[in-house]
Amino acid sequence: MSRYDLTEFEWRVIAPLLPNKPRGVPRVDDRRVLNGIFWVLRSGSPWRDLPERYGPHTTCYNRFRRWTKAGVWDRIMDAITDAYDGDVRMIDGTSVRVHHSAATLKKATRIDVLDEAGVVLLRKSML
């Protein structure tokens, strides 16, 4: 078990919340894909650097994007928070100070954070 993998307790909480449409080709193991997604999110590595034990990086990325659009992550986070009785700690990016080199940016500079496919994940206008 990798340090980024789900514990048995977390998996039991999350498993019933995952979409399950039994049509077409059987899906890759959800737990393996989730562990791959969490590995990328926690390590900060690009999707292409995902270790082979988690399967193809495209599968993890596609499922991450699909579940983001469907609101699955919101349900998962609510369930995990409830399971730990609200004792979950997260860092909100709005409370982190900007690096001193970014303080000299000109006004009305737009910063885009892109994924590997060029899709805008975050767009922020610095005023």
Tokens at residue 42, please?
């926690």
On the question of pLDDT at 55 being above 60, the answer is yes
* pTM of the complete model: 0.64
On the question of pLDDT at 16 being above 70, the answer is yes
- Who wins on pLDDT, 106 or 95? 106
Q: What is the pLDDT of residue 9?
A: 87
Burial class (CB in 10 A: 0-12, 13-18, 19+), 83: middle
